[in-house]
Amino acid sequence: MQSRVSLIGASGYAGVELTKLLVAHPGVELVAASSDRWVGDVLAARVGVASELRYVAVDEALAATADVVLLATPAEVSHELVPKLRGKVIDLSGAFRLRDGARYSQHYNLVHAHPALLAEAVYGLPELFRERVRGARLVANPGCYATAIQLALAPVLPLLAPGRLIVDAMSGVTGAGRKATEEMSFAEVAGDLRAYRVLRHQHEPEIEQGLSDVAKRDVDITFVPHLLPINRGILATCHAQLAPNRSPAEVIDAFARAYAHEPFISLAPSAEQVALHDVVGTNRCRIGAMVGASGELVVTAAIDNLVKGAAGQAVQNLNLMLGLDEQAGLAGLRSFYP
């Protein structure tokens, strides 16, 4: 028997991607999809899926009987909706990713009013915290940058010298959401490359929290995001220093041991052999590493920001929460290239 799921916020980029995945998923039935601006339209007409379901208003979608509700909504909307939901929830926003509620005012311009839910929420990065997700009621789906960076660095944390980690990462414009602003218009983005939200990106505390959980010590990063003039994809370049007497062979072994049985992790022979073409359209993360003569470590990671960085990872978490095969609805995805 298929599990029933409803989707709130189905017309954003992540929501559209999630709609496509849920309609094609063999183990679930999408029973409601909300979009205030597409109310009454058929899903098939809007996003090309094989479904005659019509978009409904949020209240109607919330009233539908569902085993799991997925929220592809802004953080401030999720902050208000999650306390009203009593069943299982996967939230794609950042509203419940951070355990420290005080950090929301700085990074999300949000005064967090639900500390009990912050304590209950499970951070849904399956490759690092799979067993927590299985029994969760509320899963906070990770951010796109945070996914690539944590997967790149988590296996090698025991091998690193003390000190701050440096990360430069680049994302396609869909990472900013589906909004009409001058700075995101074609003429402003095409042929350009720029850093943005330097030292104040909302994913930075999330990355530090997750890596600190893995390392069982405080991990500090300096994270600089950049906007690429492409539709989708993230490439993260992470810089660190190996501890004395640590070798390149240990780095290779750390990644092999950590990800040998992970269906959505692909290890490259080197940091130079990681590209967006490898992953865009899939739920995979491609990772490569190189070590210099002085022990400097560079790790690159690539993901599709809308799949492994958002909708695909939400489906991965959904499968874990429902006791389904973790690859259900995701195994057949293929790269858009060539």
Task: Name the region of 25 (left: φ>0; alpha: ψ -120 to 50; beta: rest).
Answer: beta
Nearest in space to 171 (alpha carbons), one of 20, 310, 336, 315: 310
Nearest CA to 56 out of 34, 80, 86 is that of 34
Which pair of tokens denotes residue 108? Answer: 């999300």
Whether 144 is catalytic: yes
Question: Any idea how long the chain is?
Answer: 338
- Distance CA(14)–CA(58), nearest Å, equals 17
Segment holding 225, helix H or strand E = strand 221-227
| CA angle (52 as vertex; 49, 57 as ends), nearest 5 | 100
Give the contacts of 337 (CB within 8 A, at least 6 positions apart). 277, 280, 281
Question: What's the rounded Cα separation, in Å, for the pair 309 and 49?
Answer: 21
At residue 335, φ and ψ (nearest 5 deg) are: -60, 145
* Burial (Cβ within 10 Å: 0-12, 13-18, ≥19) of residue 179: exposed
For residues 225 and 148, the answer to whether their CB atoms sit within 8 Å is no
Write down the catalytic residue from 14, 140, 144, 271. 144
The CA distance from 41 to 30, in Å, is 16
Neighbours of 169 (CB within 10 A): 25
The HSE-up count of residue 297 (CA atoms within 13 Å, CB side) is: 28
Helices (H) and strands (E) in the chain, counts: 12, 13
Rounded to 5 degrees, φ, ψ at 202 are: -65, -15
Q: Which residues are catalytic?
A: 144
